[in-house]
Amino acid sequence: MNNNKFWTLRYVLLNATYFAAFCTIHACAAVYLLANGFTNTEVGILLAIANITSAVVQPVVAGIIDKRGFLTNRRFILACVIAIGIGSVILSFVSGNKPVIFVIFAFIYMIQFAYQPVMTALCFEYQKAGCNIIYGIARGLGSASFAITSAFIGNAVERHGVGLLLVFNIVMMIFSAVLIFFFKKPVQTGATEESDKTAETKRKGSGNFSSFVKKYPTYMVFLIATICFFFAHNMINDFMIQIIRNIGGGETQLGYANFLQAILELPVMALIGIVLKKISADRLLIISGIAFTVKIFILVFTSAMPGLYISQSFQLFAYAVFIPAAAYYVSQTMDENDQVKGQAFITSAITVGGVFSNLISGFILDHLGIRIMLITGTVVSAIGIVISVTAMKKLPHKV
């Protein structure tokens, strides 16, 4: 029962359904909201609120899960999947009602981000229980699922309207609920899943936030760099449809662009275990930051779709490297009872980057234009490179 193929396949399916839904909610957020009468500034405000809430919720939930009580990784994921499904059903019946859409869409956007680090923590939890999940392959195929969804969803939305996004999301949540419900860790002899979870680690974690900061100085400074990188990354993703329209494309080209960057993630994530034997996780994180910066810098001078596709190709070294490298960095440098918190803070930093990006990008886009927005993103991402190099090279990883 605990062989690699069995557990990896099940975790692959969890990732596949998650990232297919992630495409319809996050990658197509602006498409859905603009079609329902929102301005760019309003889109930015909505996504900023969702990201702020998510950034607060993630470490709080992680702290509760790390205490090994009733709330487990698996149970939290199941609750989130159900909540997103219900929210999507409600949205299906309130087309054009901006106040209701604002609240519900922000809620499901936030929840979807909130359980992303828990998905990662779930993998490492099950690995420690003897379920030899190959994280890189599973995460890479999750990106492939995002890519496949992107390839057809843009054209489908042009033909059938944005309501299709909700229908697809509901279907994915149903599949996700079934998968996570039966994704149960093997019971140790004489123990239930919950009692085993409580018994498997008796050591205390780092305690409160200030203790955590003191214990992992490099990690905490690197989170600032992460905010900078994902300021630029979210700027591109959240307003991609506007960037594409500015150079003569539409929803179909949006789908192709998202497909390209997502499918390129697969080989890197699948082979990350091999790459890590040659290059350490901290160095990979610096490399990914440089790639994030180059990716948005190219867009500053792009006037046609080929240039945008070249920019998207740098996903191969940016996001595709950052996500698994960050997961392994946390797993390798943090104590077991700090790891859910560690994964959560990474995602919180990503969402905080999204907050600043949402608030600033929407305003700049409405008042100063796309080029100024992209120049701003490039400068902020470049600052992130300086911070990441300083953190990884000058500070201790663990005290």
Tokens in use for 170? 């509901």
Average pLDDT, the chain: 84
Within a domain: residue 198?
no
Distances (CA, A) of 287 to 87, 95, 320, 391, 392: 38, 43, 11, 14, 12
Q: Which H helix or E strand runs over 207? A: none
pLDDT of residue 225: 95
Range of the domain at 151: 4-184+209-394
CA pair distance 103, 232, nearest whole angstrom: 25
pLDDT of residue 223: 93
Within a domain: residue 189?
no
Per-residue pLDDT of 215-257, as tens digits, reads 888 889 999 999 999 999 989 887 888 889 888 888 788 878 8
Within a domain: residue 343?
yes
pLDDT of residue 196: 45
Contact 139, 324 (CB under 8 A): yes
**Is residue 154 over pLDDT 60?**
yes
Within a domain: residue 204?
no
Counted residue by residue, the chain has a size of 399
Within a domain: residue 201?
no
Distances (CA, A) of 255 to 17, 89, 198, 358: 18, 24, 44, 21
Count of other CB atoms within 10 angstroms of residue 303:
10
CA pair distance 87, 83, nearest whole angstrom: 6
Mean pLDDT of 193-200: 45
Q: What angle do CA 86, 88, 91 make, to 5 degrees?
A: 115
CA pair distance 137, 181, nearest whole angstrom: 22
**Is residue 193 over pLDDT 50?**
no
| Total number of domains in the chain | 1
Tokens in use for 55? 């950034």
Within a domain: residue 273?
yes
CA pair distance 235, 48, nearest whole angstrom: 12
Within a domain: residue 298?
yes
CATH no. for residue 349? Answer: 1.20.1250.20
pLDDT of residue 4: 52
pLDDT of residue 203: 44
Within a domain: residue 339?
yes
At residue 59, what are phi and psi to the nearest 5 degrees? -70, -30
Per-residue pLDDT of 110-140, as tens digits, reads 998 888 888 888 888 888 888 888 888 888 8
Contact 268, 77 (CB under 8 A): no
pLDDT of residue 5: 58
